[in-house]
Structure 1
C-alpha cells in the first residue's frame, strides 16, 4: 500500500494529465475534507501554526469564506 502523500501526488498528476485546473481541484478537495471534518481548521489541526497551514488556510478561506460561509456546498454525498 502506498502512503497518503504518494496517493495524493498520483491523483494530482492524473488531474493534470486530464487537463483539470489543479489549483481549483485542490481547493475543492480541501474544502470537501473541511466540510466532512467540521471546518477549515480541522484540516489543519495536526500542525496549525506552520507556514504550510497558513497557505492552505488562505486557500480554503478564499474558496469558502473567512467563516466557512459556503462550506456546506462542499459536503460530499454519503457513500453508498
Structure 2
C-alpha cells in the first residue's frame, strides 16, 4: 500500500471511529473535490471507464444530482480547504 492510500485509509478509519456515516462522509468528501476540480468527471478522469468509477459516479450523482447541479453547495467547502 502506498503512503497516499494509507493516509486516506487512516482518515476513513478515524471518521468511522468518530461514529460518522462513512458512506456519507465519502460522498461529501468526493463532492467537495468535484466542486474544487470542476465536476464529477474530473474526479474520475484518471480511469473513468472502470467499474469503480461507475460506483463513485453513482454515489456523487446521488448526492449532487446527475449533472452536478448541487455542486455549488460543496464549492464553498472546497474554497475553505
**Unpaired segments ≥5 residues, structure 2:** none
Aligned to 2:36: 36
Higher helix fraction (1 or 2): 2
Are 1:56 and 2:56 an aligned pair? yes
TM (norm. structure 1) is 0.92
1:78 corresponds to which of 73, 77, 80: 80
Aligned length: 78
**Unpaired segments ≥5 residues, structure 1:** none
CA distance in 2, matches of 1:37, 1:4: 19
* Cα RMSD, aligned residues only: 1.1
Aligned to 2:67: 67
3-state SS in 2 of match to 1:66: coil
**Runs of 4 or more above 2 Å deviation:** none
CA distance in 2, matches of 1:17, 1:68: 30
